[in-house]
């Protein structure tokens, strides 16, 4: 293997360049390369060394693909110590992002120059670990315990100007990395500056009360997670230790996190987020262009899709049915963009330019003639959708991709309403569409490969997490949601309360439980789904009637101030409504059900068993390509806690035999609902996990 670390000299200066595309991760070859370069520098005549990187970024961190494998020396902590121990100055030049181990390498160097526009950070906690190459020890010594702890526990990326102000770097430069390093090094040489080791700086002061306040804030912001608090502990302990002891303590804590399932889950999420977009069948397939997007319907969904496209720099032609609706849709989009301006995410001039040049709103379908992709987001009715697609067929240019945002309808049937079913696919956005990262890309029977690839290209432009799904009622996410929500309804019929279920589910790590979610989405959504499915209901299917009463009473959730919960000034986030308990008790009495106690553990066990079982069916039927695709759908669209990795990763953690046993136990009460997925049974019998199918 060629050495990814180059060494050249320019007069008294050694230029050491890391070149390990795509992100200069500090894998074994890079670490060994830096070690060898330092040995040469130490023995050579050069008076100063500049460490910089080629390509789009400085070191983006340790090589995450090495995690969980046997360690390969030299370790990154050793490399950082070695840099710091040099007797001649070492300057580091940061461009792009110096993250995690990248920033730790920089902190091992004696001076740091940062390019304008670059960012630094210690995002390890997002991977379930802590900065393990001196980050929790050197950064506090350099900038103070509290600012360092805030950066470490929040994982935020610090922009160049702030990094300079905090003292993380010594200078900013607008030059290329090599030139910036040379210029800074020449300045040091001219001043006769010597080494300046962060490790020799005095221990940071500890304000116990401030640290306690930060600890409380971090615990509240990251319920259930261990990495943030462990990282804080490492920094705090190190503040009253020698550097050597602090590093040893950091190492010890790092190793405990490395061994935790949370680390495995977070890394599964990191790679899963990227892998979903890599479908073997699309390798080499060229997507069509996505520069101009048509959107049919300017309601919540259509407006959100429009905003997502506009923020990505695409041109949008939005169609509504009449002048009044057109004006309303435009005002809605302008309001959302205004919100982005207020939050500092969008400059006012950019917003004005978008509205003037990029957005066309009209009731004339003919305006769609140039669109590359047209996304329909009208009312969920097959007849309405077919009518829209008939019109699109007449106006869209040949080769335009025609997409439906339906959340459950049969896309094959919609495609058949056109003369070009190969150009039709589903693009299922989640509300609010400009915020939620998940995009289900639904492949119908006749969807052409380049049309599917175009869906992925659009997702990339919109910075979404795209997951390919097959056609079925609800695709991946909503199909699984219906099943675990039904499991919750069954538990309520049998004795649990919706509020207890929501509490147990939030304690598990979801931001909200299923009933609070229903209130947010609107009770009418679930009601309409149930009405739609009622005629298909099997006589053996258990069906709770009381949720329909809410709809009949006009209790539509948050929007009407009352749903499962009561929302008022006293409790804007909702408080349990005793009337709900009465409704449930009535139904139990009518059906002769004797309520029994459910522990929170049992609630989680059943809820997760239902989710995992349906997820396994979705994979077994090919609706989702791989278990990881399901995991990413639940993570990015349904609030599944990232630190648990997704339902099928979680299933592997608890063991498939155990999951199967839970399902079989529940099946003794209701063998219609609880039918074990064939794939789950097969994997359990073979002693394999879902992870074995991720490729």
Query: Under the rule (CB under 6 A), what is the footprint of ligand 3H9?
Result: 22-23, 25, 57, 60-65, 76, 97, 99-101, 104, 123-124, 127, 131-133, 135, 274
Beta carbon nearer to ligand 3H9, 31 or 485: 31
* Smallest separation (angstroms) from ligand 3H9 to the CB of 344: 21
Distance (Å, whole) CA 150 – CA 215: 10
Sign of CA dihedral 318, 322, 323, 329: negative
Q: Is 429 in contact with 436 (CB distance < 8 Å)?
A: yes
Residue with the two structure tokens 């795209």: 466
Beta carbon nearer to ligand 3H9, 76 or 462: 76
| 621 given a catalytic annotation | no
Beta carbon nearer to ligand 3H9, 127 or 253: 127
Residue with the two structure tokens 């590093």: 247
Distance (Å, whole) CA 127 – CA 266: 5
Letter string b/e over residues 168-201, b meaning 16 or more CB atoms within 10 A of that residue's CB: bbbebbebebbebbbebbeebeeeeeebebbbee
* Smallest separation (angstroms) from ligand 3H9 to the CB of 253: 12
* Smallest separation (angstroms) from ligand 3H9 to the CB of 274: 4
Beta carbon nearer to ligand 3H9, 133 or 310: 133
Beta carbon nearer to ligand 3H9, 463 or 537: 463
* Smallest separation (angstroms) from ligand 3H9 to the CB of 20: 10
Beta carbon nearer to ligand 3H9, 108 or 514: 108
Give the pair of three-digit tokens for residue 333: 């989009």
Distance (Å, whole) CA 616 – CA 324: 46
Q: Going by C-beta distance under 8 Å and a sequence separation of 6 or more, which residues neighbour residue 259?
A: none
| 104 given a catalytic annotation | yes
Distance (Å, whole) CA 324 – CA 313: 26
DSSP 8-state code for residue 445? T
Three-state DSSP state, 442: strand
* Smallest separation (angstroms) from ligand 3H9 to the CB of 59: 8
Distance (Å, whole) CA 465 – CA 610: 25
Residue with the two structure tokens 């949720």: 547
Beta carbon nearer to ligand 3H9, 89 or 135: 135
Beta carbon nearer to ligand 3H9, 64 or 471: 64
* Smallest separation (angstroms) from ligand 3H9 to the CB of 5: 17
* Smallest separation (angstroms) from ligand 3H9 to the CB of 100: 3
Q: How many CB atoms lie within 10 A of CB 204?
A: 23
Distance (Å, whole) CA 578 – CA 397: 57
* Smallest separation (angstroms) from ligand 3H9 to the CB of 544: 44
* Smallest separation (angstroms) from ligand 3H9 to the CB of 204: 19
Residue with the two structure tokens 């553990």: 601
Distance (Å, whole) CA 33 – CA 463: 34
DSSP labels, 153-185: HH-PPEEHHHHHHHTSSSEEESS-HHHHHHHHH
Catalytic pick among 46, 104, 320, 605: 104
Beta carbon nearer to ligand 3H9, 65 or 289: 65
Residue with the two structure tokens 């039904």: 486
Measured at the CA of 664, the angle between CA 663 and CA 665, to 5 degrees, comes to: 90
Q: How many CB atoms lie within 10 A of CB 335?
A: 11
Strands 13-18 and 5-10: antiparallel
Distance (Å, whole) CA 312 – CA 508: 35
Calculate Rg over the CA atoms of the chain.
28
Give the pair of three-digit tokens for residue 403: 């997409």
Residue with the two structure tokens 């409504």: 577
* Smallest separation (angstroms) from ligand 3H9 to the CB of 155: 8
- Give one word for 229, left, alpha or beta, with left for phi > 0 and alpha for psi -120 to 50: alpha
Q: Is 235 in contact with 206 (CB distance < 8 Å)?
A: no
Beta carbon nearer to ligand 3H9, 162 or 670: 162
* Smallest separation (angstroms) from ligand 3H9 to the CB of 632: 13
Three-state DSSP state, 630: helix
Distance (Å, whole) CA 566 – CA 519: 10
Beta carbon nearer to ligand 3H9, 133 or 151: 133
Beta carbon nearer to ligand 3H9, 101 or 526: 101
DSSP 8-state code for residue 318? E
- List, in sequence order, every beta strand (DSSP E) within 555-694: 565-566, 575-576
Catalytic pick among 46, 124, 376, 440: 124
At 458, which helix (H) or strand (E)? helix 449-461
Give the pair of three-digit tokens for residue 692: 């074995």
* Smallest separation (angstroms) from ligand 3H9 to the CB of 161: 19
Catalytic positions are 104, 124
């Amino acid at each position: 293997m060629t050495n990814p670390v180059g060494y050249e000299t320019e007069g008294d200066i050694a230029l050491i360049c890391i070149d390990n595309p795509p992100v200069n991760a500090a894998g074994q070859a890079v670490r060994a390369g830096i070690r060898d370069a330092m040995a040469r520098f130490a023995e050579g005549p050069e008076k100063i060394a500049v460490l910089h990187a080629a390509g789009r970024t400085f070191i983006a961190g340790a090589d995450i693909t090495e995690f969980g494998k046997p360690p390969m020396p030299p370790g990154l902590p050793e490399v950082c110590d070695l840099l710091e121990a040099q007797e001649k100055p070492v300057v580091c030049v940061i461009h792009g992002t110096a993250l995690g181990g990248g920033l730790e390498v920089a902190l091992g160097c004696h001076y740091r120059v940062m390019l304008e526009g670059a960012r630094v950070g210690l995002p390890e906690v997002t991977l379930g670990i802590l900065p393990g190459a001196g980050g929790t020890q050197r950064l506090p010594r350099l900038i103070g315990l509290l600012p360092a702890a805030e950066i470490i526990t929040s994982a935020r990326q610090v922009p160049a100007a702030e990094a300079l102000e905090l003292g993380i770097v010594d200078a900013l430069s607008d030059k290329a990395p090599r030139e910036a390093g040379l210029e800074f090094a020449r300045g040091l040489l001219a001043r006769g500056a010597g080494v300046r080791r962060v490790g020799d700086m005095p221990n940071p002061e500890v304000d116990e009360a401030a640290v306690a306040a930060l600890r409380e804030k971090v615990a509240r912001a990251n319920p259930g997670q261990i990495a943030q608090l462990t990282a804080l502990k490492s920094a705090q302990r190190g503040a009253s230790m020698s550097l050597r002891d602090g590093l040893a303590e950091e190492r010890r804590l790092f190793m405990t996190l490395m061994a935790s399932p949370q680390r495995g889950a977070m890394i599964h999420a990191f790679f899963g987020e990227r892998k979903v977009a890599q479908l073997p069948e699309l390798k080499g397939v060229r997507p069509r262009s996505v520069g101009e997007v048509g959107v049919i319907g300017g309601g919540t969904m259509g407006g959100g899709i429009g905003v997502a496209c506009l923020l990505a720099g695409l041109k949008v032609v939005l169609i509504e049915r009449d002048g009044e609706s057109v004006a309303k849709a435009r005002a809605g989009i302008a309001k959302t963009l205004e919100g982005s301006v207020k939050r500092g995410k969008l400059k006012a001039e950019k917003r004005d330019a978008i509205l003037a040049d990029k957005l066309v709103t009209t009731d004339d379908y003919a305006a769609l003639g140039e669109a590359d992709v047209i996304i329909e987001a009208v009312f969920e009715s097959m007849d309405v959708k077919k009518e829209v697609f008939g019109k699109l067929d007449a106006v869209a240019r040949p080769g335009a991709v025609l997409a439906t945002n339906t959340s459950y309808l049969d896309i094959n049937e919609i495609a058949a309403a056109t003369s070009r079913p190969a150009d039709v696919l589903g693009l299922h956005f989640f509300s609010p569409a400009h915020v939620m990262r998940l995009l289900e890309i639904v492949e119908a029977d006749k969807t052409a490969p380049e049309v599917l690839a175009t869906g992925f290209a659009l997702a990339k432009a919109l910075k979404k997490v795209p997951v390919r799904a097959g056609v079925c009622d609800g695709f991946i996410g909503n199909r699984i949601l219906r099943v675990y929500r039904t499991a919750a309804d069954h538990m309520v019929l049998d004795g649990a309360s919706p509020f207890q279920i929501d509490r147990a589910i939030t304690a598990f790590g979801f931001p909200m439980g299923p009933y609070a979610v229903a209130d947010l989405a609107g009770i009418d959504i679930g009601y309409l789904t149930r009405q739609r499915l009622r005629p298909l209901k099997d006589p053996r299917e258990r069906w709770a009637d009381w949720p329909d009463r809410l709809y009949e009473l006009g209790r539509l959730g948050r929007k009407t101030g009352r749903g499962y919960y009561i929302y008022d000034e006293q409790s804007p986030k909702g408080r349990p409504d005793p009337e709900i308990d009465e409704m449930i008790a009535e139904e139990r009495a009518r059906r002769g059900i004797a309520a029994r106690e459910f522990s929170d553990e049992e609630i989680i066990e059943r809820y997760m068993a239902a989710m995992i079982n349906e997820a396994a069916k979705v994979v077994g039927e090919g609706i989702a390509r791989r278990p990881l695709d399901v995991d990413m759908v639940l993570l990015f669209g349904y609030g599944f806690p990232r630190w648990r990795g997704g339902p099928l990763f979680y299933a592997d953690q608890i063991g498939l035999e155990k999951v199967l046993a839970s399902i079989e136990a529940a099946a003794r009460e209701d063998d219609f609902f609880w039918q074990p997925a064939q794939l789950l049974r097969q994997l359990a019998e073979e002693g394999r996990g879902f992870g074995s199918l991720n490729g």
